C-alpha cells in the first residue's frame, strides 16, 4: 500500500460545446512513502490534470485518490496535507520573502515562534537567509523558485507536488535547481510527485518514472530499467537522447534460422540473422511485421563478431565535443549513432555500421509492445 494511491482515476473535461474529452483514462499508480515519483510525457498527456486531482484543484470524474490510507476525493485541498510548487512561482509581489514563506502558516494560525523557526530552517536549507527581507522582484528566477520551494517546505506536508517547476529557468539554472531539488528530497526524506515533459529531468531526479501518453500510463519503473527494458515503442522512443533508432521490417524463416529483414523499397534491405536470444523472441513472428530498436550508443563502426552490419550513407556529422553524432540513412530509415570525437567520416560517404546484437530490442509493429 503506497502513501498515495491512484485507483482507476478518470478525468473527463466537458467542453463548453457538447464534446466530452477524457484527459485521464483510468490510471492506477502507487507512490511509496519517501519516494520521488516523476510523471513524464509529452504536452497534453494528462500530467497536470493528474497532479491537480491529487492536489484537489480538479474534481475527479471517477476512481479514487488515497493519501495515507484515506480517500480524499471530497477533501478540500487545504485539508489534504500536500504542498504544491508551480511553474510560475505564484509569489505575492508586495510581501517579503519571509512573509511569502510564512503566509500559509499564518493562515493556519501557527504560533509566531514556530513560524519563525520553520521559515529560518527552510531559508537555511535553501540558502535564502540573507534575502528574507527582499521582495520577489529583487530576486532572480532561480531565487524566486527557491522561495516557492521554501513556502512548501515550511508546511511539512505529507506530499510535495511539483508541476514543471523549472520550466521558466534558463538551461544552466535548471540543471542547478535539479540537483538542489534532488538534495532536498534526500534531506527531507519527503514524498514528492514531480511533473515534467523533460525526459532528462525525469531520468536524473526520479526514484521511479511514470511515463504517460494520451491519458494512459505506458510504463512505471526506475530510470535505468526504463532505459534498458522499455515495454513499448512509445517509452523506448521517449526516454533517451538522442532517441532509440527504429527500423520496420519483418521476420523471415530459412530452415532453422530466423532473420530480421528491413522493409526497404529504395535500396537493398539489410538482413540481420537472429541469435538465440532474438530467435526465442521472434520465432512466432515469422512473416509478420516487426520493429527493431537500437540505441545510438549500441551502434559502432568496427566489425564485431557478434554484430549486425548495415550499409548506410552518412547524412550529418554533429560534433558535440565529448563525442560526435553521426546521422545515417539506409535508403529507407534514418538513424543516429554516437561515436568518439575523433572519427573521419564525411557527409555523403558510405559506411559499414555495426549494431550490437545483444542490445537490439524487438517490438510488435501492430500492438507497439515489446516482443517477449
Report the interface residues with Mg ion, using CB under 5 A: 48
- Note whether 136 binds ligand ADP by CB under 6 A: no
Which CB, 99 or 198, lies closer to ligand ADP?
A: 198
Which CB, 25 or 134, lies closer to ligand ADP?
A: 25
Return the one option of ligand ADP, Mg ion, none that residue 45 interacts with (CB less than 5 to 8 A, by type).
ligand ADP
- In the complex, the smallest distance separating the C-beta of residue 24 from ligand ADP, rounded to whole angstroms, is 7
- Give the whole-angstrom CA distance, residue 244 versus residue 370: 14
Size, binding site for ligand ADP by CB under 6 A: 12
Closest CA to 309 of 339, 278, 272: 272
Return the one option of ligand ADP, Mg ion, none that residue 82 interacts with (CB less than 5 to 8 A, by type).
none
Which CB, 44 or 77, lies closer to ligand ADP?
A: 44
Which CB, 61 or 343, lies closer to ligand ADP?
A: 61
- In the complex, the smallest distance separating the C-beta of residue 194 from Mg ion, rounded to whole angstroms, is 12
- Note whether 161 binds ligand ADP by CB under 6 A: no
Rule CB under 6 A: choose which of 8, 20, 21, 257 binds ligand ADP. 21
- Give the whole-angstrom CA distance, residue 211 versus residue 40: 5
Contact 230, 246 (CB under 8 A): no
Closest CA to 266 of 331, 314, 330: 331
- In the complex, the smallest distance separating the C-beta of residue 94 from ligand ADP, rounded to whole angstroms, is 29
Q: Taking CB under 6 A as the rule, which mask of x and - marks residues 104-123 in contact with ligand ADP?
A: --------------------
- In the complex, the smallest distance separating the C-beta of residue 343 from ligand ADP, rounded to whole angstroms, is 39
Contact 245, 295 (CB under 8 A): yes
- Give the whole-angstrom CA distance, residue 11 versus residue 22: 6
- Note whether 209 binds ligand ADP by CB under 6 A: no
Q: Which residues pair with 253 in a beta bridge?
A: 258
- Note whether 13 binds ligand ADP by CB under 6 A: yes
Q: In sequence order, what are the residues at sequence separation of 6 or more whose Cβ sits closer than 8 angstroms to the Cβ of residue 332?
A: 262, 263, 264, 265, 266, 267, 269
Taking each helix axis from N to C end, the angle separating 112-126 and 97-107, rounded to the nearest 10 degrees, works out to 140
- In the complex, the smallest distance separating the C-beta of residue 197 from Mg ion, rounded to whole angstroms, is 7
- In the complex, the smallest distance separating the C-beta of residue 60 from ligand ADP, rounded to whole angstroms, is 14
Q: Taking CB under 6 A as the rule, which mask of x and - marks residues 29-58 in contact with ligand ADP?
A: ------------x-xxxxxxx---------
Contact 38, 202 (CB under 8 A): yes
Count of CA atoms in the C-beta half-sphere (13 A) of 318: 11
SS (H, E, C) 85-146: ECCCCCCCCCCCHHHHHHHHHHHCCCCHHHHHHHHHHHHHHHCCHHHCCCCHHHCCHHHHHH
Return the one option of ligand ADP, Mg ion, none that residue 92 interacts with (CB less than 5 to 8 A, by type).
none
Interaction site with ligand ADP (CB under 6 A): 13, 15, 21, 23, 41, 43-49
Amino acid at each position: 500500500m503506497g502513501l498515495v494511491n491512484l485507483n482507476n482515476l478518470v478525468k473527463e473535461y466537458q467542453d463548453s460545446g457538447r464534446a466530452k474529452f477524457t484527459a485521464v483514462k483510468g490510471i492506477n499508480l502507487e507512490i511509496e512513502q519517501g519516494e520521488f515519483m516523476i510523471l513524464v510525457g509529452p504536452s497534453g498527456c494528462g500530467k497536470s490534470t493528474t497532479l491537480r486531482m491529487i492536489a484537489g484543484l480538479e474534481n475527479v470524474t471517477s476512481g479514487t485518490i488515497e493519501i495515507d490510507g484515506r480517500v480524499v476525493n471530497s477533501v478540500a485541498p487545504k485539508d489534504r496535507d500536500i504542498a504544491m510548487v508551480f511553474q510560475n512561482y505564484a509569489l505575492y509581489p508586495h510581501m517579503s520573502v519571509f512573509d511569502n514563506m510564512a503566509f500559509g502558516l499564518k493562515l493556519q494560525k501557527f504560533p509566531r515562534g514556530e513560524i519563525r523557526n520553520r521559515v529560518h530552517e527552510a531559508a537555511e536549507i535553501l540558502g535564502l537567509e540573507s534575502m528574507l527581507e527582499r521582495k520577489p522582484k529583487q530576486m532572480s528566477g532561480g531565487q524566486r523558485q527557491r522561495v516557492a520551494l521554501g513556502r512548501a517546505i515550511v508546511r511539512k506536508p505529507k506530499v510535495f507536488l511539483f508541476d514543471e517547476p523549472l520550466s521558466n529557468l534558463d538551461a544552466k539554472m535548471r540543471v542547478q535547481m535539479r540537483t538542489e531539488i534532488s538534495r532536498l528530497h534526500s534531506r527531507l526524506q519527503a514524498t514528492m510527485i514531480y511533473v515534467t515533459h523533460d525526459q532528462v529531468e525525469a531520468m536524473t531526479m526520479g526514484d521511479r518514472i511514470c511515463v504517460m501518453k494520451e491519458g494512459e500510463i505506458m510504463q512505471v519503473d526506475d530510470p535505468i530499467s526504463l532505459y534498458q527494458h522499455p515495454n513499448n515503442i512509445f517509452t523506448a522512443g521517449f526516454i533517451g537522447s538522442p532517441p532509440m533508432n527504429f527500423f520496420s521490417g519483418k521476420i523471415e524463416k530459412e530452415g532453422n534460422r530466423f532473420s530480421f529483414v528491413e522493409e526497404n523499397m529504395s535500396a537493398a534491405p539489410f538482413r540481420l540473422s537472429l541469435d538465440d536470444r532474438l530467435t526465442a523472441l521472434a520465432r512466432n513472428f515469422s512473416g509478420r511485421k516487426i520493429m527493431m530498436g537500437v540505441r545510438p550508443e549500441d551502434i559502432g563502426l568496427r566489425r564485431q563478431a557478434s554484430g549486425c552490419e548495415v550499409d548506410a550513407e552518412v547524412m550529418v556529422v554533429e560534433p558535440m565535443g565529448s563525442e560526435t553524432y553521426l546521422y545515417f540513412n539506409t535508403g529507407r530509415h534514418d538513424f543516429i549513432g554516437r561515436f568518439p570525437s575523433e572519427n573521419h567520416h564525411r557527409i555523403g560517404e558510405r559506411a559499414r555500421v555495426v549494431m550490437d546484437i545483444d542490445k537490439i530490442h524487438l517490438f510488435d509493429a501492430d500492438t507497439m509492445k515489446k516482443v517477449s
